[in-house]
Amino acid sequence: MISKILIANRGEIALRVLRACKELGIATVAVHSTADADAMHVRLADESVCIGPPPSRESYLNIHQIVAACEITGADAVHPGYGFLSENAKFADILDAHGITFIGPTADHIRIMGDKITAKKTAEALGIPVVPGSDGEVKPENAIEVARKIGFPVLIKATAGGGGRGMKVAKTEADLEEAVSTARAEALAAFGNDAVYMEKYLGKPRHIEVQVVGDGEGNAIHLGERDCSLQRRHQKVWEEANSPALNVEQRMAIGKVCADAMKKLKYRGAGTIEFLYENGEFYFIEMNTRLQVEHPITEAITGIDLVHEQIRVASGGGLSVTQEDITFQGHAIECRINAEDPRTFVPSPGTITHFHAPGGLGVRVDSGAYQGYRIPPYYDSLIGKLIVHGRTRVECMMRLRRVLDEFVIDGIKTTLPLFQDLISNQDIANGDYDIHWLENYLANTSA
């Protein structure tokens, strides 16, 4: 049994995890940098430990300090949230060596999914459909041959990739040499590893991802999909569950493929299998072995608390539900509220002078922000998430419109006005968008 959880994160996700711990009667330890001493997760935790100065490398990414905080407070488990150390296999190994439970998958599963080529090969072996592409790494000398076999346009991707870096499109043979060499140079600079591989480039896909949870013993379930096609620079902005593009049969079919794969893998914990979806076909791109930012929309339509499930399986208590228990109720949308200029997306840290969160049926606000809170300039600009649920997509959209009018965050710039624009757009109303839609929209409205 787990009796005290150290939350190795900050911001809204630290608060989110803390809420689950409290509901389960588990004691909590917050860790924080000197810049976050006033943060809400620190105020609400049972105990807190300052683990270093503002830069993440010296605080939230500092494994020694976090392990020391566990030892000092007697925490017997760590929840890593998302980002920071959540997909760090070495961290999971170190906790294990100290007899501390890592609330997440095994270090081996983190490693497998952290390397893109290994992840893709593993997915394929588990029966998950993948993007057609090279069989492993591609060297410059055989790039032409591989690309001809796949068919143009092709995408060159870094094996160690992340955040869209080390990724280049070659539309024709003439572009190939340069695409390969720039992708390799970018990959080397960003990840210290210039290995690249090649995939068919899909022109107008949607980003659809499937939520899974496994108990590590061979039982696993899926909780349907999320559509995260509305992105800016590969960052998700607005997410929906269910996807406006899928019907029930497609949902249950891809969900079953993912759940079956996780059973075979004996996967433990929450995970997300990400796909590009085009012309009725799914193509695996990666698996995230952690809780995702957009998990609340899945919680809204299934009624299942994913952090409760993560803690249950980490403590050997198994899943609280079977696949047959899960039903999908209505529709949910999440808007990511960033402290950024809504047009230029330049970060806007500073003091929140007035804060009023909306309420009412079907409304959830996950945020550590409050009136008088000073947003530090050192971290990600996500300051909160607005999650709205309705019985139908139309009801959900009408509720979102009402809720956006109520939400007040003064003193800093936020991306709230962007959502007020999107909610009035006909393509959005129709659910008719792909992964390029938002970039095109922003380019065409920025005059």
Residues near ligand ADP (CB under 6 A): 131, 155, 161-164, 199-202, 205, 207, 234, 276, 285-286, 435
Q: How far is the CB of 159 from ligand ADP (least distance, A)?
A: 11
Q: How far is the CB of 207 from ligand ADP (least distance, A)?
A: 5
CA 385, CA 378: separation in Å to the nearest integer?
Answer: 19
374 catalytic per annotation: no
CB closer to ligand ADP out of 184 and 364: 184
Which among 206, 290, 312, 399 is annotated as catalytic? 290
Q: How far is CA 181 from CA 149, 163, 196, in A?
A: 20, 19, 10
CB closer to ligand ADP out of 94 and 285: 285
CA 102, CA 122: separation in Å to the nearest integer?
Answer: 23
Q: How far is the CB of 199 from ligand ADP (least distance, A)?
A: 4
Q: Count Cα neighbours of 286 within 13 Å in the Cβ-side half-sphere.
A: 19
Q: How far is the CB of 240 from ligand ADP (least distance, A)?
A: 16
CB closer to ligand ADP out of 33 and 289: 289
Q: Are strands 382-390 and 363-367 parallel, antiparallel or unpaired?
A: antiparallel
CB closer to ligand ADP out of 186 and 340: 186
CB closer to ligand ADP out of 2 and 158: 158
CB closer to ligand ADP out of 55 and 162: 162
Q: How far is the CB of 224 from ligand ADP (least distance, A)?
A: 19
From the list 281, 286, 306, 287, the residue with the least C-alpha distance to 295 is: 306
Q: How far is the CB of 250 from ligand ADP (least distance, A)?
A: 19
CB closer to ligand ADP out of 67 and 176: 176
Q: How far is the CB of 51 from ligand ADP (least distance, A)?
A: 28
Catalytic positions, written as ranges: 290
